[in-house]
């Protein structure tokens, strides 16, 4: 157990950040699945910028690696172009 006030605060803060990161990561994964399942090219093109923005946000905050973000964006863009 923590012995200092600052350590107790850090424990609380870490948990809040962890939950926020989990929420954002899960929301992005669901958006990616929705985009991949989309059959209509026009709808997929409309969804793509929002999903790319979510992926960029995760990479900027180090929730996912920047190379993973680049790979995801590339694959999704190719997928939408092939529809």
Structural domain span for residue 15 = 5-82
CA distance 13 to 41: 42
Within 10 angstroms of residue 64's Cβ, the number of other Cβ atoms is 19
Rounded Cα distance between 53 and 5, Å, is 38
The tally of domains found in the chain comes to 1
The CATH number assigned to the domain holding 75 equals: 1.20.58.110
Model pLDDT for residues 30-82, shown as the tens digit of each residue: 999 999 998 999 999 999 999 999 999 999 999 999 999 999 999 999 999 99
Whole-number CA gyration radius for the chain: 17
**What global pTM score does this model have?**
0.84
- Any idea which residue has 């990561």 for tokens? 25
Q: Are 65 and 71 in contact (CB under 8 A)?
A: no
């Amino acid at each position: 157990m923590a012995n200092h006030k600052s350590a107790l605060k850090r424990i609380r803060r870490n948990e809040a950040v962890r939950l926020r990161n989990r929420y954002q990561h899960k929301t992005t994964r669901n958006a990616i699945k929705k985009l991949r399942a989309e059959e209509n090219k026009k709808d997929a093109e409309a969804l793509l910028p929002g999903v790319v923005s979510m992926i960029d946000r995760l990479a900027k905050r180090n929730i996912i690696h920047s190379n993973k973000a680049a790979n995801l964006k590339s694959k999704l863009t190719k997928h939408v172009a092939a529809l």
